[in-house]
Amino acid sequence: MAKVEKRKLGVLTSGGDAPGMNAAIRAVVRTALDHGLDVYAVTEGYQGMVDGGNAIKPMAWDSVGGILQRGGTVIGTARCADFRTREGRLKAAFNLVAHGIDALVVIGGDGSLTGANLFRQEWVSLLEDLVKEGKIGKETARQHPYLTITGLVGSIDNDFFGTDMTIGADTALHRIVEAVDAISSTATSHQRTFVVEVMGRHCGYLALMSALACGADWVLIPESPPDVENWEDVMCEVLKAGRAAGRRDTTVIVAEGATDRNGKPIGSAYVKQVLEEKLGEDCRVTILGHVQRGGSPSAFDRNLGTLMGHAAVEQIEKSKAQSEPMVVGWRDNRVAYTPLMECVEKTQKVAKVVGEKDYEQAMALRGDSFKDTFRTLRTMVRSLPHTPKPGLRRMRIAVLNAGAPAPGMNTAVRSAVRLGIDKGHTLLGVRGGLQGLIDGDIQEMNWMSVNGWAPRGGSELGTGRKIPAGKELYAIARNIEELDIQSLLIIGGWSGYEAAHRLWKERENFPAFNIPILCLPATINNNMPGSELSIGADTAVNNVVEAVDKIKQSSGSLHRCFVVEVMGRYCGYLALMSGLATGAERVYMHEEGVTLLDLQSDLQNLIRGFEGGKRISLMIRNENANPLYTTAFMYALFEEEGKSLFDVRQAILGHLQQGGNPSPFDRIQATRLAERCIEHFSELPESENPPVMFIGLQGGEMKFFEIDDIRRMADMTLSRPKEQWWMDMRDVAKVLSKPGPKKL
Ligand code: ADP
């Protein structure tokens, strides 16, 4: 039988670097090896392909070890003028064929992917030329009849069609948000005004989302220039009113590509000049520049890179001869494939229509969520509410936090209070969770009561796990009546939902409970039914990942295995996501259980790994993975059996997971969800039997469910949803964390 040649795959990063590219490279290399393919890194982008020789390197399992936490791209990237010419691409084709490569995963922006598509279209003719020139034989050309290409989008700008998030955008948001939070603290102390310029020549995503996440006071983006000629006066009026209302600092965020309606660039220097002249304020400019590109990738970008890289190889394996190249993207929390050229064309169209000053179309092309966010922001930055529209229902809405503190709770309360007041409602803040509702610890909140809350961790209102019962229900009913509370927004975790359910069940006994109640999922455990993600979970995963990065470094040159215990109650989300983002060899969670056989086999893998030259091993264990095989037990078992081959350390991360400022993602989602809840209250008709519901994020959408659905959708004993969408990611984690072949 003829020997079947292994297919050879190349991976390259091209154009601007982006954090998370390394995760993608690691996933491409390991998935390819796992599929039995040979895999090569083409270094320095297309330049390496044009140069050939040592620039195209074979990759082994261990070549991509220890790179997940590193920013940039370990295989280098470049802009390559040669590749824009046919001559350059001819050389590139020769170099690929010389290595037997005829499949490529290209990680880059729209330029890189356009180049890749052109190269693929020309492939046959390039090989014909190489045959004519005598550089390759006819047989070689016959062996590589087509070039298979899959694209991954690495770009901090999040400016690409076919994916909700590009690899690197979330990290860039982290960098911006950290910087603006830091600037805000000094600005508040000195009552200063700051103009912060962020990246985004054609795309205002980073500016818009960071403004929303940080509670900035004005934002200027390329897609939607100020709609009036005298925008400077309008901006200054709003900022002045904010100061008059008691705000101690002012932050304006400007995207580098922001222009006025006539296409004239605005620039941060001009904004500073305007603010100084019109407000007479001491104004400072910070241009964040390349800081936004750099540093360790966020947990989301590591996992995005990993999932995309894995899917790209699967796509290449599936693709038929001459099939259309695809971009692997992330849409509605799932891997999505879109034809590459469709993505490139739509992406380039936004830049084109912005250039033509067709701003309406530019915003339309960005999509509804972008447009809605911009509209929300324009309300949030005001210092005073709009005059409410007539005809909308006005209510007295009480808002409270419930359960353990989750980063993002304050952001959600801020959004509910401001957007609620803006719609003409009266907002009442309940202190200390459900206990505050029992005790009547309730105060009216105004626009400025939540000033500065967007970035704060913990719960400013105070929270607790109280689920009211018995006489406490009377106390709540009395307070609802006395304070004329007409609806209730509970922002929190499991205990908040249970409390809402109880109030609903007790309606017959307490007519006062006949008010609409909404629950908004906020818990680091991500264990709420109806929502693929809950507020706080992203921050917690990042907290775990940062801690584990440090723990891993502490091992020095020793051979060490770490057993790290994370929170999550009975839900393995935190364990799996942080395991995926840190390259853990093994993730233990309650959903899968832990048996003695598992532990034996894990021990064998550990021994095999350390014997094979491994230096660090990481096991992540959910706090309730198994009641008997505890972290201490696993530590003792591995330590004893590891003998002199490796030692073991355990780390129980504890409450650091719940703390810290909320991540950009948690702030953005908290704002959106709270806004949707307020809208829901406003739209409710008067009814005898008003709804008690919980809201959730499902894919890209926000949905409401009846509170009683919780029984259908969740395992009530284990306090977690019956179906957990993220469980599918276990397979990827398992492939990538295999011990790899023994080193020689
Ligand atoms: P990005 O991929 O981040 O958008 P660039 O637009 O700079 O970055 O593109 C990166 C590289 O991709 C270029 O330096 C060039 O080598 C290649 N490239 C871009 N556009 C084309 C094209 N139209 N034809 C061939 N190669 C291209």
Residues 397-443: tens digit of each pLDDT: 999 999 999 999 999 999 999 999 999 999 999 999 999 999 999 99
Could you read off the pLDDT of 154-179 as tens digits, one per residue? 999 998 999 999 999 999 999 999 99
pLDDT in tens, 670-709: 999 999 999 999 999 888 899 999 999 998 899 999 999 9
Q: How far is the CA of 15 from the centre of ligand 1 (A)?
A: 6
Which fold does the domain 396-535+666-707 belong to in CATH?
Rossmann fold (3.40.50)
pLDDT at site 390: 74
Q: Is 423 exposed, middle or buried (CB count within 10 Å of its CB: 0-12, 13-18, 19+)?
A: buried
CA of 79 to the centre of ligand 1 (A): 7
Q: Which atom of ligand 1 is nearest to the CA of 113?
A: 2
Q: How confident is the model at residue 741 (pLDDT cuts 50, 70, 90)?
A: low
Q: Whose CA is nearest to atom 15 of ligand 1?
A: 80
What does the pLDDT read at residue 686?
A: 87
Q: What are the residues facing 704 on neighbouring strands?
A: 695
Which residue's CA is the nearest one to ligand 1's atom 10? 15
Residues 6 or more apart whose Cβ sits within 8 Å of residue 634? 563, 588, 599, 619, 621, 650
Q: Alpha-carbon distance 539 to 315, whole Å? A: 31
CB of 664 closer than 8 Å to CB of 174: yes
Cβ < 6 Å from ligand 1: which residues? 14-16, 46, 79-80, 83-84, 108-112, 114-115, 118
Atom of ligand 1 nearest to the CA of 14: 10
Q: CA–CA separation, 150 vs 169, rounded Å?
A: 20
Show the tokens assigned to 547: 């801690």
Question: 396-535+666-707: same fold as 169-293?
Answer: yes
pLDDT tens sequence across 12-23: 999 999 999 999
- What does the alpha-carbon distance between residue 620 and residue 652 come to, in Å, rounded to a whole number? 10
**Whether 157 is catalytic:** yes
Q: What percent of the chain has pLDDT over 70?
A: 98
738 pLDDT tier (thresholds 50, 70, 90) = confident
137 phi-psi bin (left φ>0, alpha ψ -120 to 50, beta other): beta
Please answer whether residues 665 and 170 qualify as being in contact, where contact means their C-beta atoms are separated by less than 8 angstroms: yes
Picking from 253, 256, 249, 255, the residue whose alpha carbon sits closest to that of residue 282 is: 249
Q: Which of 163-167, 183-187, 292-296, 491-495 is predicted least confidently?
A: 183-187
pLDDT tens per residue, range 323-364: 789 999 999 999 999 999 899 899 888 888 988 989 989 888
Pocket test for ligand 1, best of 50, 90, 105, 112 (most atoms within 8 A of CB): 112
**What's the pLDDT tens digit per position in 201-210?**
889 999 999 9
What distance lies between CA 278 and its chain's CA centroid? 38
Residue 448 has pLDDT above 50, yes or no: yes
Q: Look at phi and psi of residue 538 and say left if phi exceeds 0, alpha if psi is from -120 to 50, else beta.
A: alpha
Lowest-pLDDT range, 385-389, 489-493, 507-511, 679-683?
Answer: 385-389
Two structure tokens written together for 132:
């004519």
Q: How high does pLDDT run on average in the chain?
A: 93
Ligand 1 centre and the CA of 110: distance in Å?
A: 7
How many of the other CB atoms lie within 10 Å of CB of 391? 5
- Looking up tokens 């999932």 gives 307
Question: Which of 3.90.45.10, 3.40.718.10, 3.40.50.300, 3.40.50.460 is the CATH number of 169-293?
Answer: 3.40.50.460
Residue 226, phi then psi, degrees to nearest 5: -50, 140
4 pLDDT higher than 90: no
Which comes out higher in pLDDT, residue 271 or 243? 271
Options 3.40.50.450, 3.90.1200.10, 2.130.10.10, 3.30.1020.10; which CATH number does 8-166+297-331 get?
Answer: 3.40.50.450
User: Is pLDDT above 50 for 744?
Assistant: no
Residue 5 predicted with pLDDT over 70: no
235-249, 286-300, 402-416: which has the minimum mean pLDDT?
A: 235-249
Confidence of residue 148 (pLDDT cuts 50, 70, 90): very high
Domain ranges of the chain: 8-166+297-331, 169-293, 396-535+666-707, 542-660+730-736
- In sequence order, the 6+-apart residues with CB closer than 8 A to the CB of 11 are 25, 28, 29, 39, 40, 41, 42, 59, 75, 104, 105, 107
pLDDT at residue 1 is higher than 60: no
Which of 157, 164, 217, 538 is labelled catalytic?
157
The closest of 240, 328, 266 to 24, measured between CA atoms, is 328
Q: What is the CA radius of gyration of the chain?
A: 28
Q: Which atom of ligand 1 is nearest to the CA of 16?
A: 3
What fold characterizes domain 542-660+730-736? Rossmann fold (3.40.50)
Q: Where residue 199 falls among pLDDT bands split at 50, 70, 90?
A: very high
Q: Is residue 593's pLDDT more than 50?
A: yes
- Taking residues 537-559, report their average pLDDT: 92
pLDDT of residue 743 exceeding 60 = no
- Name the residue of 83, 117, 122, 123 to mutate for ligand 1: max ligand atoms within 8 A of Cβ: 83
Burial (CB count <10 Å: 0-12, 13-18, 19+), residue 182: exposed
Residue 45: burial class (beta carbons within 10 Å; 0-12, 13-18, 19+): buried
Please tell me the predicted confidence (pLDDT) of residue 739.
73
Query: For ligand 1, atom 16, which residue shows the shortest CA distance?
Result: 80
Buried b / exposed e over 453-489, threshold 16 CB at 10 Å, is bbbbbbbbbbbbbbbbeeebbeebbebbeebebbbbb
Counting ligand 1 atoms within 8 A of each CB, the residue from 42, 51, 79 with the most, and so the one to mutate, is 79
Helical ranges in 99-164 per DSSP H: 110-132, 138-143
